[in-house]
Structure 1
Amino acid sequence: MNERIKNAALRAKLMSADDAARFVNHGDKVGMSGFTGSAYPKALPTAIAERARAEHEAGRDYTIDLFTGASTAPDCDGVLAEADALRFRAPYQSDPTMRAAINAGRMGYADMHLSHSAQQVEEGFFGALDVAIVEASQIDADGNLVPSSGVGNNVEYLNAASRIIVEVNSWQSIELDGMADIWQMPALPNRVAIPINKPGDRIGTTYIPIDASKVVAVVETDAPDRNAPFKPIDDISRQIAGNFLDFLEGEVRAGRLTYDGYIMQSGVGNVPNAVMARLLDSKFENIQAYTEVIQDGMVDLIDAGKMSVASATSFSLSPEYANKMNAEAKRYREHIITRPLQISNHPEVIRRVGLIATNGMIEADLYGHVNSTRVAGSRIMNGIGGSGDFTRNGYISSFISPSVAQDGAISAIVPFASHIDHTEHDVMVVITEHGFADLRGLTPRERARRMVQVAHPDYRPLLEDYLERAEAASVKAMHEPHHLATALAFHQNLNETGSMRG
């Protein structure tokens, strides 16, 4: 570890994860690194979970409030949820055990825009932050932290916390040094413009400076990120990707996009990777990304010379591509920049670079409102993540989804969204395997007809019937007509019969 921990004073604070967990007390507010399964602490979560179990068995209370960048992994969120070690969680999660605890009411959860999360924690909206637990790939001689496979909210948590625990993970490539670009947002009211004009602009340092006097423990680890494999690209994903490329080609024909001017943001998942696979064989060149995560498809685009630069806050790679990144980090850092989440998702920069945002959804209604977080209005899935940051501020905002789920029992296009994360004012394009609905410049009733066209054929008659009833019942309210008595009938059918068709 001498090559990883180059500062002697911090090397002297090496200890086991169990010993370090003694610095995390009942009631503490804890900020952890981690974003989409990358760069989260690997040892402390289990040690904290074991301490929670021991305290509970002794009849004593032990829970903490946990803040991260986004989702982590089963050996972080999962073990803490299983041990009932969390009272509260923010700003995003995706662990099934944690999701069950939240939906059962055993754990508090605040879903929020990721670009808001660091500032709210740093400003004390949730109370003072007690501990920051952050993974690093190394500590340099001056005591600065070199980020591992993501940055997330680390900068703000390290600044705000009273105590710091650093995990130095030797699994992470030491050649990640130089990939990060750390620029700290000045405190209010002294904000200045973020000096990023293009996705590839570097404006800060390659390390995170910290107050070494706050470091109470350093822990050695050698463990991989949660690098879940992506599902093989299926026919539905290929069709959606083809429709997305058709939309981009239409923008080129309209003079709003050039083949060497595509700046992308993409949510995580199989369909976005299918889109990037289609881009490999497209006419688009010099593609740039200003986004949240680096995915397999972006690595392929870089390798093919189709993508010149990708700016994000973290990786979200399959095991094969994570190993490739570790082996070739020195090469990839010429094309990849990792930034603090507050910078990667900042509305100012998103608006300035003019990117096309593409995110997933649970459902969209006929007028273009999108639900990306809750099933049947109440049951949380993951959270809004950064989709709102990019949807509201992107040059063009699009949502992609298969038209049905659960073998056709659930329609992604519904009469009235059971929960709304993205309003009709922000949603411009909705894409399924049946085409794309370009909603720009349309009235609500015109949008509704376009949305019916991208719904699954089995649901189109039901949606058309709803529109007819809504218009008949809304003679004095024809701007955006609804039949309130049956607006949520799709969801009621699902609850009662297991299918939205009833």
Structure 2
Amino acid sequence: MSDRIANAQLKGKIMSAEEAAQFVNDGDKVGISGFTGAGYPKALPKAIAERAKEEHAKGNSYMIDLFTGASTADDCDGILAEADAIRFRTPYQSDPTLRNKINDGTTFYADYHLSESGMYVEQGFFGQMNVAIVEATRITDEGHIVPSSSVGNNVEYLDAAEKIIIEVNSWQSVELEGMADIWRMPSLPNRVPIPLTEAGQRIGKTYIDIDPNKVVAVVETDAPDRNAPFKPADEISQKIAGNFLDFLEGEVRAGRLTYDGYVMQSGVGNVPNAVMAGLLDSKFENIKAYTEVIQDGMVDLIDAGKMTVASATSFSLSPEYAEKMNEDAKRYRNTIILRPQSVSNHPEVVRRLGLICTNGLVEADIYGNVNSTNVTGSRMMNGVGGSADFTRNGYISSFITPSEAKGGDISAIVPFASHIDHTEQDVKVIITEYGYADLRGLAPRQRVDKMIALAHPDYRPLLQEYYDKALHLAKEKKMMHTPHVLSEALSFHQRFLETGSMKKTSKK
């Protein structure tokens, strides 16, 4: 497969992953490619994990600080975490083994906005980046890297690192070349506006130019991305999708949206994918996406002629759709653009393009604050990802969620969010299977009835009981703007920790 490595200088640096791992030392800051299970290095993580195990067996310290675009996979984050090889991790993760290491205190985790994470590295906030490990679909004659199925923070890591290791993966289609649009933001104090006024514009190069003298190793691989299948849309997901479409129809009736003017952002997961499936049979045409990831539902919209352009930084496809993308990348690159996440998630561009943004949540409170990250305020799930980039800057920021979780023991609507990632000022619409709450133009107390109506019927009386008590106390103390009973504001969470359920009827 060395024909994918066209540069003679870099072809001379081909070696095994085990040999390349010797360039990664204890305490190194390592930036890798990868975003939502796509485009991450496949061989080096295992080799680094094995080296960590060997060093630990000798009684030596061996841990790295790991920087990515977003989540990777079990054969990257997972095996490194299992080997206790990660001291510090940022900016987003979703691996269960790594999550456990974060929550048991083994690994430090910093949850940053994705649009800012590359800039932090570029500006040296973390110190010197020692190694960049980036997957490519090929290396050009000039030594440029053609990104594979994600771009993420690759540019910032390659520019900042002292040493570069390139994995050239023959599983990735060579026809991906031409899909990437690499635009570098000039460093401070020379910032300029990103010249994007349409989701489908191309403003950069199809490759990442690097300093070839920094490359210490090139490793050849042939391994698929982590492509998890999406679950078939269940009744609840279909109801949520229907309620979202009802909201969009209401925007059309109000004159704030047209059937051919919908520019969308969508978070990752089964429910957002179900929403996109619902758009197939809708009246909306000429849909455009300016988002983080390309999911199965977007590919279906493209194939149906409903979506004319999809701009993102990565794929997040099922195995079936990943195979379809590999087989037909040449056609899809006419519609799909992969950008650095510093561009795909940039607040200025998000605000300019007028996006209708849709993301998931852990919980929302009766006043519209949203928690996307921490269960019961302390246990990290995945991270805020890029949801805040889009929520704060989107034209309409919506959140979609089932009304309950854990078989009904957790309510997605609570009196007071145990952790807040998105404040009431940024959250415009919340949607469950019971309808949607349009919070725009409403004061906090005007939102409460709408929010309680979104909750599962089992929890509505408990939420109303809390609010009535808060309102009574607030009138006495003249604290009516956002009434709370601070001693009971987290009572739902306390009951869950004590009994295993947020309901008053204990399981014990």
State the TM-score, normalizing by the size of structure 1.
Answer: 1.00
| CA shift for structure 1 position 406 | 1.0
| CA shift for structure 1 position 2 | 3.5
Which residue matches 1:477?
479
Which residue matches 1:301?
301
> Residues of 1 paired with 2:259 and 2:388: CA distance?
27
Secondary structure of the residue aligned to 2:474 is coil
Whether 2:189 is the aligned partner of 1:186: answer no
Secondary structure of the residue aligned to 2:197 is coil
Which residue matches 1:456?
456
Which residue matches 1:500?
502
Q: How does 1:402-481 map to 2 (within 5 A)?
A: 402-475=402-475, 476-481=478-483
> What are the superposed Cα offsets for residues 220-240 of structure 1, whole Å, 9 maximum, x if unpaired?
000000000111110000000
Which residue matches 1:265?
265
Which residue matches 1:325?
325
Which residue matches 1:490?
492
Whether 2:57 is the aligned partner of 1:57: answer yes
One-letter amino acid of the structure 1 residue matched with residue 419 of structure 2: H
> Residues of 2 paired with 1:349 and 1:176: CA distance?
25
Secondary structure of the residue aligned to 2:294 is strand
Secondary structure of the residue aligned to 2:451 is helix
Secondary structure of the residue aligned to 2:418 is coil
One-letter amino acid of the structure 2 residue matched with residue 209 of structure 1: D
> What are the superposed Cα offsets for residues 165-191 of structure 1, whole Å, 9 maximum, x if unpaired?
000000000000000000001000000
One-letter amino acid of the structure 1 residue matched with residue 497 of structure 2: N
> Residues of 1 paired with 2:454 and 2:86: CA distance?
42
> What are the superposed Cα offsets for residues 308-356 of structure 1, whole Å, 9 maximum, x if unpaired?
0000000000000000000000000000000001000000000000010
Q: How does 1:18-29 map to 2 (within 5 A)?
A: 18-29=18-29
Which residue matches 1:175?
175
> Residues of 1 paired with 2:303 and 2:37: CA distance?
23
Which residue matches 2:197?
197
Whether 2:256 is the aligned partner of 1:256: answer yes
Which residue matches 1:346?
346
Which residue matches 1:74?
74
| CA shift for structure 1 position 449 | 1.1
Secondary structure of the residue aligned to 2:218 is strand
| CA shift for structure 1 position 304 | 0.1
Whether 2:314 is the aligned partner of 1:314: answer yes
| CA shift for structure 1 position 119 | 0.5
Whether 2:347 is the aligned partner of 1:367: answer no
> Residues of 2 paired with 1:294 and 1:306: CA distance?
15
Secondary structure of the residue aligned to 1:311 is strand
Q: How does 1:142-181 map to 2 (within 5 A)?
A: 142-181=142-181
> Residues of 2 paired with 1:37 and 1:157: CA distance?
18
> Residues of 2 paired with 1:359 and 1:496: CA distance?
30
Q: How does 1:99-178 map to 2 (within 5 A)?
A: 99-178=99-178
| CA shift for structure 1 position 499 | 0.7
Which residue matches 2:7?
7
> Residues of 1 paired with 2:367 and 2:388: CA distance?
18
| CA shift for structure 1 position 388 | 0.2
Root-mean-square deviation (Å)? 0.5
Which residue matches 2:47?
47
Which residue matches 2:398?
398
> Residues of 1 paired with 2:442 and 2:322: CA distance?
43
Q: Which runs of 4+ in 1 moved over 2 A?
A: none
> Residues of 1 paired with 2:34 and 2:172: CA distance?
14
| CA shift for structure 1 position 3 | 2.7
> Residues of 2 paired with 1:141 and 1:99: CA distance?
41
> Residues of 2 paired with 1:498 and 1:156: CA distance?
44
Secondary structure of the residue aligned to 2:27 is coil
> Residues of 1 paired with 2:89 and 2:152: CA distance?
16
One-letter amino acid of the structure 2 residue matched with residue 192 of structure 1: V
Secondary structure of the residue aligned to 2:471 is helix
Which residue matches 2:216?
216
Secondary structure of the residue aligned to 2:124 is coil
> Residues of 1 paired with 2:129 and 2:468: CA distance?
54
| CA shift for structure 1 position 407 | 1.2
| CA shift for structure 1 position 122 | 1.4
One-letter amino acid of the structure 1 residue matched with residue 35 of structure 2: F
> Residues of 2 paired with 1:348 and 1:397: CA distance?
15
For structure 1, which segment, 380-389 or 448-457, has the greater mean C-alpha deviation from structure 2 after superposition? 448-457
Number of aligned residues: 502
> Residues of 2 paired with 1:485 and 1:168: CA distance?
57
One-letter amino acid of the structure 2 residue matched with residue 422 of structure 1: H
Which residue matches 1:280?
280
| CA shift for structure 1 position 468 | 0.4
Secondary structure of the residue aligned to 1:252 is helix
One-letter amino acid of the structure 2 residue matched with residue 381 of structure 1: M
One-letter amino acid of the structure 2 residue matched with residue 326 of structure 1: N
> Residues of 2 paired with 1:157 and 1:485: CA distance?
46
> Residues of 2 paired with 1:215 and 1:327: CA distance?
30
One-letter amino acid of the structure 1 residue matched with residue 443 of structure 2: T
State the TM-score, normalizing by the size of structure 2.
Answer: 0.98
> What are the superposed Cα offsets for residues 124-153 of structure 1, whole Å, 9 maximum, x if unpaired?
111100000000000000000000000000
Secondary structure of the residue aligned to 1:407 is helix
